[in-house]
Structure 1
């Protein structure tokens, strides 16, 4: 909804998100949890299995998303807004040269983008993050096309969304190769259902920490991923002039 600038706070979905946030459930001192106990009661991807100690694995990603929802849809003098601002300041301070996970680094790229989008630079000091991010991006960007298939890695598009990106300079060739790869994937590597094969990497839906197959869940997720990939790729192709939208 954020990406399409949908901001009708009276919409039931947005009201549901706000209700969840205001409940403070699974909100720790510094972040929202990456996984929650009830995940294990339903079919889920392995990385969403709840285990003691893994709730903060990618908490920055969850926290950044919810914080900007709050900032966009609540009053600045409200208690929840002030709490969100404090959490965001904590996430900003947490970034350091020791951040070595490409997924976390891409989350900070999104943090900077949203602070600039909503013109919050005077409220949140991101100078240090902006100075350190380019080196982190270049270090953990996976440029080898042979590693993109069947591997969860930091492809260029995790960090670069358009030619205007500050991370694009010096990575033009890598981004061009990924766009070619994505086009090939769209035209020649789809399953018979015309969706990306979400099980290509060998993972399976889990339930109560037991492996198993869940046809309905797999079908729903495959279609969900189809939509997500289609939207993300079309946006990339449009931004880089790989598709003609004139007609």
Structure 2
């Protein structure tokens, strides 16, 4: 793998946010620079939009784009509960916007008015999804005032989410599974306040992860598949030992499939879905994001 080529691509092509993430993760850069760049995507209602998730150019706040912000907050280790970005997200989640009483919407109606990938189409008849609800619950439990109604709601939602997981086991949606892994990891780290049977949850997730990982590695370079890095972020994961071999293979895959410009292939597209110009821009944004994720994964798993 050519680290310098990857770095050069990011410096030349990344959004300010992703360049700040690169510097923070790999060059001793400032957490505050990342948060300043992230804040540009936050709306007055506290939620996030503006193509923070590059496959949807909706400026309006949505649960998915807000979830992306929570992942970046986690990435830089922001812990201050009174930080304006965190308080804004809590305000958005407490407002009831895009929330049906049980789950936050996976897509929102105004998506259909802007350039977006087909999987972010809004369909009012679509089934409820726990992507990103299961992950947003962890954000609330971590940062909300324990005396607040939002915190009390999150405790109820944990039990509802787990009931849904068991009723729909095994799931086919990688997005749903990823959010449930994040929920499990948070609850395990904060087991003093046990809400569900974590031993059972872990056992089911071990089976679930084996169900959704794509073990046919011949298609990894050309199709959007579930690689282990989507679900297993480090050797400390409870799910690493059982999947050590495929995790090691992914490291080899990363090292052997880098392109001459320092990037990796983006294996999905929405250029044929009315928005070829916007997709070409989003694809470039994704390249920098994938560079960051792949190099971080190598540093964590190797």
Q: Report the TM-score when normalising by structure 1.
A: 0.80
Which residue in the other structure is 1:100 paired with? 171
Alignment RMSD (CA, Å): 2.4
Supply the distance in 2 between the matched residues of 1:227 and 1:40 (Cα, whole angstroms): 26
Which residue in the other structure is 1:176 paired with? 248
Which residue in the other structure is 1:167 paired with? 239
The reply on whether 1:73 has 2:134 as its aligned counterpart is no
Question: Aligned pairs, how many?
Answer: 228
Which residue in the other structure is 2:286 paired with? 225
Which residue in the other structure is 1:244 paired with? none
Residues 155 and 8 of structure 1, relative CA distance in 2, 3 Å threshold: same
Q: 1:87 aligns with which of 157, 178, 189?
A: 157
- Residue 104 of structure 2 aligns to a residue in which SS? coil
- Residue 292 of structure 2 aligns to a residue in which SS? helix
Supply the distance in 2 between the matched residues of 1:172 and 1:147 (Cα, whole angstroms): 20
Counterparts of 1:4-19 in structure 2 under 5 Å? 4-19=76-91
- Unaligned runs of 5+ residues in structure 1 are 242-247
Residues 151 and 189 of structure 1, relative CA distance in 2, 3 Å threshold: farther
Structure with the larger helix share: 2
The reply on whether 1:39 has 2:100 as its aligned counterpart is no
Cα distance, 1:172 vs structure 2: 2.6
Residues 61 and 202 of structure 1, relative CA distance in 2, 3 Å threshold: closer
Asked if structure 2 preserves the Cα contact closer than 8 Å seen for 1:45 and 1:205, the reply is no
Supply the distance in 2 between the matched residues of 1:110 and 1:21 (Cα, whole angstroms): 18
Cα distance, 1:150 vs structure 2: 2.7
Residues 44 and 12 of structure 1, relative CA distance in 2, 3 Å threshold: farther
- Residue 100 of structure 2 aligns to a residue in which SS? coil
Supply the distance in 2 between the matched residues of 1:55 and 1:3 (Cα, whole angstroms): 30
Counterparts of 1:107-118 in structure 2 under 5 Å? 107-118=179-190
- Residue 75 of structure 2 aligns to a residue in which SS? coil
Which residue in the other structure is 1:142 paired with? 214
Which residue in the other structure is 2:34 paired with? none
Q: Deviations over 1:47-83 (max 9, x none)?
A: 1110122262xx3121122212211111112111111
Cα distance, 1:92 vs structure 2: 1.1
Q: Report the TM-score when normalising by structure 2.
A: 0.67
Residues 115 and 151 of structure 1, relative CA distance in 2, 3 Å threshold: same
Supply the distance in 2 between the matched residues of 1:164 and 1:95 (Cα, whole angstroms): 23
